[in-house]
């Protein structure tokens, strides 16, 4: 991977003004960062080292690297797996991510949308990134990549590869026509090993499924709905890859893997989840057009330099630690203060704070209201830096 872009948290923020004396925190303490956990599921991105990420709270998914998968054999009836792989494989990229403070790394997959290097992937693949590189799976050429925007609530992000041309765009199908029982093929960077995409044949086992991710440390939750469930072997590193039909048309974005169940014959089928391509492509179009919304963030992420957990009972987001020299530390915020509002907008939880910060950008002047012991409140003005993605 190319050299680091530089630590955003180390840059000097603009001068900030404290609008009122900050209340004393009832106590001080820091929580060791932990990984985000999927209830009953495994997120399908592979992260090789845990790192503190966030502008607000934020840690990256971590999964052990998967062993090299065995090549796919015969697929479901009616699918020529080799033919699907030959058609879909050249339209994928392997994504390599350099994470925040501790310099960890992550790997995932992306789907090529245009010959000049627009790439669709999962938000959780690039969340926390300070540098992103994509390798064209068809030609093996690496490209530096920029994150144009993301939708955290639907787990979608779009990259633009620098200097790309002549890439092979994926043929997108119609996920509204997908039926339970249909044969499918999942393709992606399983195990984060790079090289040609790993092929995982299977069938659609259910439609309209929901999964919820919860951060052990912050208590923040994210729920994905309307997912395609398959029994293909979706693995860590496949996130952002293609779920294709028998004609090699992409009908979904591989997103998560789940526990299988036991057959009488002793076989253990696999369980995976994909975002329907109709939904993913519609969000990608909004990002490419630069249209921000309540869920779509365009451009660089705003970085406060603190981690939070739920304060409980809708009381706010409790500060657990701060990045030395970061915007929040510079205005005197301390651990164990509750963030209760941003620009007058109530903050009832860690999730709420993250959601609000997704609507802001580096350089915005934000009024942060905090509460200390006894409920005493004060408001300070903070100017977020440019930080890791998401």
Q: Which CATH superfamily is domain 8-30+300-387 in?
A: PDZ domain (2.30.42.10)
Distance (Å, rounded) from C-alpha 147 to C-alpha 46? Answer: 19
Highest mean pLDDT, choosing among 8-12, 13-17, 217-221, 262-266: 217-221
Query: Is the pLDDT at 344 greater than 90, yes or no?
Result: yes
pLDDT of residue 22: 46
Mean pLDDT of 191-211: 95
**Residue 21: burial class (beta carbons within 10 Å; 0-12, 13-18, 19+):** exposed
| Angle CA 343–389–19, to nearest 5 | 25
pLDDT of residue 102: 64
**Residue 139: burial class (beta carbons within 10 Å; 0-12, 13-18, 19+):** exposed
Distance (Å, rounded) from C-alpha 144 to C-alpha 330? Answer: 32
- Where b means 16+ CB within 10 Å and e means fewer, 211-224 reads bebebebbbbebeb
pLDDT of residue 108: 96
Query: Is the pLDDT at 307 greater than 70, yes or no?
Result: yes
pLDDT of residue 78: 74
Sign of CA dihedral 53, 147, 297, 225: negative
Mean pLDDT of 93-120: 92
Point out which residues pair with 243 in neighbouring strands: 186, 252
CB 184 within 8 A of CB 243: yes
- Kindly state the percentage of the chain with pLDDT values over 90: 65
Residue recorded with tokens 């969000």: 283
Point out which residues pair with 47 in neighbouring strands: 63, 106
CA dihedral 217, 221, 226, 231 (to 10 degrees): 20
Highest mean pLDDT, choosing among 10-14, 35-39, 218-222: 218-222
Mean pLDDT of 345-355: 92
Query: Is the pLDDT at 27 greater than 80, yes or no?
Result: no
- Kindly state the percentage of the chain with pLDDT values over 70: 74
Identify which has the larger pLDDT, 205 or 30.
205
CB 238 within 8 A of CB 94: no
Identify which has the larger pLDDT, 293 or 266.
293
Distance (Å, rounded) from C-alpha 130 to C-alpha 388? Answer: 5
In the CATH hierarchy, which fold is given to the domain comprising 36-288? Thrombin, subunit H (2.40.10)
- Where b means 16+ CB within 10 Å and e means fewer, 248-278 reads bbbbbbbbbbbeeeeeeeeeeebbbbbbbbb
Sequence ranges of the domains in the chain: 8-30+300-387, 36-288
- 221-237: per-residue pLDDT in tens? 678 999 999 999 999 89
pLDDT of residue 215: 58
Residue recorded with tokens 């195990």: 191
Average pLDDT value for the chain: 80
Point out which residues pair with 336 in neighbouring strands: none
CB 38 within 8 A of CB 222: no
pLDDT of residue 64: 35
pLDDT of residue 129: 94
pLDDT of residue 267: 42
pLDDT of residue 295: 94
- 144-182: per-residue pLDDT in tens? 999 999 999 999 999 999 999 999 999 999 999 999 999
């Amino acid at each position: 991977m190319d050299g680091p872009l530089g630590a955003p948290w180390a840059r000097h923020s603009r001068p900030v003004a404290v609008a009122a004396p900050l209340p004393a925190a009832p106590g001080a303490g820091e929580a060791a960062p932990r990984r985000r956990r999927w209830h009953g599921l495994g997120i399908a991105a592979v992260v090789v080292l845990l790192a503190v990420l966030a502008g607000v709270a934020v840690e990256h998914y971590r999964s052990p690297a998967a062993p090299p998968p065995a090549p796919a054999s015969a697929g479901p009836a009616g699918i020529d797996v080799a033919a699907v792989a030959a058609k879909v494989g050249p339209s994928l990229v392997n994504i390599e991510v350099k994470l925040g403070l501790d310099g960890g790394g992550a790997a995932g997959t992306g789907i090529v949308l245009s010959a000049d290097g627009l790439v669709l992937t999962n938000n959780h693949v690039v969340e926390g990134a300070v540098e992103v590189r994509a390798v064209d799976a068809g030609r093996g050429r690496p490209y530096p990549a920029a994150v144009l925007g993301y939708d955290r609530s639907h787990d979608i992000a779009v990259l633009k590869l620098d200097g790309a041309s002549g890439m092979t765009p994926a043929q997108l199908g119609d996920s509204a026509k997908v039926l339970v029982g249909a044969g499918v093929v999942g393709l992606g960077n399983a195990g984060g090993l790079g090289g040609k995409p790993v092929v995982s044949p299977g069938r659609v086992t259910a439609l309209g499924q929901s999964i919820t991710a919860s951060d052990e440390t912050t208590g923040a939750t994210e729920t994905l709905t309307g997912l395609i469930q398959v029994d293909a072997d979706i693995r860590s590193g496949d996130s952002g890859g293609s779920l294709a039909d028998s004609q090699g048309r992409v009908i979904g974005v591989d997103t998560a893997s789940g526990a299988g169940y036991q057959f009488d014959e002793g076989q253990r089928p696999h369980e995976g989840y994909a975002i329907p391509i109709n939904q993913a492509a519609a969000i990608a179009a909004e990002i490419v057009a630069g249209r921000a919304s309540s869920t779509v963030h365009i451009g660089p992420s705003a970085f406060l330099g603190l981690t939070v957990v739920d304060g409980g009972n809708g009381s706010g987001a409790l500060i657990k630690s701060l990045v030395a020299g970061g915007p929040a530390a510079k205005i005197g915020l301390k651990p164990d203060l509750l963030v209760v509002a941003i620009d007058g907008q109530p903050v009832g939880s860690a999730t709420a704070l993250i959601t609000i910060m997704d609507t802001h950008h580096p350089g915005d002047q934000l009024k942060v209201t905090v509460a200390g012991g006894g409920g005493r409140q004060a408001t300070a003005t903070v100017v977020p830096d440019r930080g890791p993605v998401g």
